[in-house]
Amino acid sequence: MGVTGSFFNLYRHGFVRVAAAVPEVRVADPAFNAARCAELMHAAATQHARYLVFPELGLSAYSCEDLFHQQALLDGCASALRCLLEATRALPLVGIVGLPLRVEALLFNCAAVFCGGRILGLVPKSYLPTYREFYELRQFAPAAAARTRRVTLGAQTDVPFGPQLLFDDVALDLRFAVELCEDLWVPLPPSSLAALAGASLLFNLSASNATVGKADFRRQLVADQSARCMAGYVYCAAGAGESTTDLAWDGHALVAENGTLLAESRRYAPPPQLLLADLNLDRLRLDRMRTTSFGQSVQQHRERLREFETVPVSLPPPDCSQRLLLLNPPERCPYVPADPARRRERCAEVQAIQMQGLVTRLRATRIEKVVLGVSGGLDSTLALLVCAGAMDALKLPRTHVLACTLPGFATAEHSLGRARELTAALGCTPLEIDIRPSCMQMLRDLRHPAAGGAPQYDLTYENVQAGERTSHLFRLANFHNGLVVGTSDLSELALGWCTYGVGDHMAHYDVNASVPKTLVQYLIAEAAENDRFGPAASSVLRRVLAARITPELTPDQSSEAVIGPYALQDFNLYHLLRFGDLPSKVAFLAYNAWRDGGAAPAPPGVPGPKHCSIGEIKRWLGVFLDRFFRASQFKRSCLPNAPKVGSGGSLSPRGDYRAPSDSDATVWLADLATVPDQEGV
């Protein structure tokens, strides 16, 4: 975007603040209405918004009916617009206001786009509803009836006029477009073509009246259009003050970004209302770039897209010198919905995908038994639950799940106890192999100091144990005609926190490979909360959630002490893998999410950081970048088959992520270096 300034300023990181205003309105009183719009524009500018949209025909009121054919009202609206331009001339803000406008003896329902005291363009409404309670063709002509693309309005001549206008905010490398109310309700809205022509931000001036159930439909319509167009969509409907002769008005304003509703006004609230939200422009650009069918659509409609005219927006770059954080900070756990109902639905669907993948693999191979190593930790616990569910789906006894504990040098009794208890509670077949004798033989063969009792806990010491476990699991599968189920999760694979070619890396089939650690925790928590596998299993699951995350290969080992808090690293993974964000932007997002503890969902027993400083965020993001981009891809290039569970991505070399194994992390770490080490810098 070319915008620089304070690290703690949202505009520096590819965001833009937009606003929708529902002012107090008087029917057929343009001067009053313009004054209320000016007040809201000053308020929006104070809160650093760059664009502000008002309701349809806001200068006159929408419900004027045949008063629109009165010259006094039309002249009053033109005069009110001039007053509004003058009153907001000094504001660093684009305003979009509605008014009736006569052009060559035809009357149009228009949106005036203005800033710096000048009109940038006039957009007439394309589709005029004339059904049920609407009679717009009685007063107005549709945009297609216009015979000119330039008009004179007051002292301004040669003002662009038409539905195919793109407004180019050069300072932000952003193009936006405008449509009016019914334009959104047709099969091919003008905003769809505008998006293909390059608009990543869409505004809608509306006067949609209130009826039962209509608000839900508006939400769906606005969110869906933003998703189809991969754009930001700002919608603003008329509110109190419109005539209630036959209709009522709820002042419904909405802001959506690529299918997600970011902000919504309070319906039926007394005016004025000012709704603000921060849109992530970089995310919209990246989604369009990655979704190649968007480019194909551009090609298919290229003839119609040539009709669009680009209008420059003369606004200086936003002031980034001051601290300006996000109004709608990202969720701390992006893989896990904060809403409890959606979280339950997500957990059920993820487990269904995992089980279906394993069931299909077993049917295809005609294998009826599975073998997996269980440690009493998170990943093997989730895999064991999936295996038990798969046997239920196949109508096979759970005894066909061979759950093998493989205690090593640092295995704790409480971990071993959890694994044994859960196996028993689920009715699976328990196996136990003490790998210490075979590990000691390997250490002796290697002439490793630990074979003689020296406390040398190096990588060889760890991997001898991991390798012995894997060897036993695969041979057990041979012996019992079973399939080895892998347990490693997405977070471990991203960070390379796994040993090449052994149990946390290699298997016949991996059910957890696209499930991040935070989601693993919530899946287990949900199973415990709902007693899905019985009260005895739930008791064990709660203890699994409360335990420290460790591979137990050396004494007092902690995964998070080495690679960072999983909740924070999953946040980094999501924004880097799903959106390709700059590391500095990921750090800014994380700061917004964690600076005050955030509002992450917290099922019982799931630990996580309550607060992170920018220094801590930078430190652990640096660990992530180096491990992800430089050190770990060779491990991911030969992963076993595993089902993809979410749109957040997987790291399968056959699916979401294909990358060279010998890349470097220099460019990512260089960008991270621009992040301050402490707050207030």
pLDDT in tens, 142-159: 999 999 999 999 889 999
Give the pair of three-digit tokens for residue 573.
């993974």
The torsion defined by the Cα of 338, 340, 345 and 346, in degrees rounded to 10, comes to: 30
The model's pLDDT over 590-645, given as tens digits with 9 standing for 90+, comes to 999 988 755 444 454 456 677 889 999 999 999 999 999 998 999 899 999 999 99
Mean pLDDT of the region 163-173: 96
pLDDT at 1: 45
Mapped to the 3 state alphabet, what secondary structure does 432-499 carry?
ECCCHHHHHHHHHHHCCHHHHCCCCCCHHHHHHHHHHHHHHHHHHHHHHCEEEEECCCHHHHHHCCCC
Assigned CATH for 10-312: 3.60.110.10
pLDDT at 608: 67
Own/partner contacts of 554-563, CB < 8 Å, gap of 24 or more, are 554/409, 554/410, 554/457, 554/461, 554/462, 555/410, 555/457, 557/410, 559/497, 562/497, 563/495, 563/497, 563/623, 563/624, 563/627
> Are 183 and 191 within 8 A, CB to CB?
yes
pLDDT at 190: 97
Bridge partners (DSSP) listed for residue 99? 110
List Cα–Cα distances, 505 to 98, 261, 586, in angstroms.
60, 38, 28
Strand 232-236 relative to strand 253-257, pairing? antiparallel
Mean pLDDT of the region 518-526: 94
Q: Which is catalytic among the residues 24, 77, 115, 125?
A: 125
Q: How far apart are CA 201 and CA 576, in angstroms?
A: 23
Q: How far apart are CA 407 and CA 432, in angstroms?
A: 8
Pick the CATH number of 340-672 from 3.40.50.720, 3.40.50.10860, 3.30.70.1230, 3.40.50.620: 3.40.50.620
The model's pLDDT over 371-396, given as tens digits with 9 standing for 90+, comes to 999 999 999 999 999 999 999 999 99
Q: How buried is residue 421: exposed, middle or buried, by Cβ count under 10 Å (0-12/13-18/19+)?
A: middle
pLDDT at 653: 86
648's CB contacts (< 8 A; 6+ apart) are 334, 335, 516, 574, 577, 578
Q: Which is catalytic among the residues 24, 56, 242, 462?
A: 56
List Cα–Cα distances, 553 to 53, 493, 558, in angstroms.
60, 18, 10
The half-sphere exposure of 149 on its side-chain side, counting CA atoms within 13 A, is 8
> How does residue 133 score in pLDDT terms, banded at 50, 70 and 90?
confident
- Measured at the CA of 512, the angle between CA 509 and CA 513, to 5 degrees, comes to 80
Q: What is the CA radius of gyration of the chain?
A: 30
Bridge partners (DSSP) listed for residue 51? 18, 94
The torsion defined by the Cα of 339, 341, 346 and 351, in degrees rounded to 10, comes to: 140
Q: How buried is residue 34: exposed, middle or buried, by Cβ count under 10 Å (0-12/13-18/19+)?
A: buried
> Are 253 and 221 within 8 A, CB to CB?
no
> Are 57 and 99 within 8 A, CB to CB?
yes
Q: Can 125 be counted among the known catalytic residues? A: yes
List Cα–Cα distances, 122 to 150, 456, 557, 577, in angstroms.
9, 76, 66, 41
Q: Please give the biggest Cα pair distance in the chain.
A: 102
Give the pair of three-digit tokens for residue 397.
């006894």
pLDDT at 599: 46
Q: How buried is residue 267: exposed, middle or buried, by Cβ count under 10 Å (0-12/13-18/19+)?
A: middle
Which amino acid is located at 348 in the chain? A
Q: Can 56 be counted among the known catalytic residues? A: yes
Q: Which is catalytic among the residues 37, 110, 181, 333?
A: 181
Which amino acid is located at 199 in the chain? A
pLDDT at 607: 62
pLDDT at 317: 93
> Are 612 and 595 within 8 A, CB to CB?
yes
pLDDT at 646: 81
Q: How far apart are CA 532 and CA 522, in angstroms?
A: 14
Q: Delimit the domains of the chain by residue range.
A: 10-312, 340-672
> How does residue 502 score in pLDDT terms, banded at 50, 70 and 90?
confident
Bridge partners (DSSP) listed for residue 156? 153
The torsion defined by the Cα of 21, 22, 25 and 29, in degrees rounded to 10, comes to: 30
The proportion of the chain whose per-residue pLDDT surpasses 90, expressed as a percent, equals: 86
**Is 598 or 192 the better-scoring residue by pLDDT?**
192
395's CB contacts (< 8 A; 6+ apart) are none
Q: Which of 630, 510, 494, 629 is nearest to 564 (CA)?
A: 494
The model's pLDDT over 271-285, given as tens digits with 9 standing for 90+, comes to 999 999 999 999 999
The proportion of the chain whose per-residue pLDDT surpasses 70, expressed as a percent, equals: 97
pLDDT at 601: 47
Q: How far apart are CA 216 and CA 250, in angstroms?
A: 13
pTM: 0.93
Mean pLDDT of the region 149-170: 95
pLDDT at 3: 64
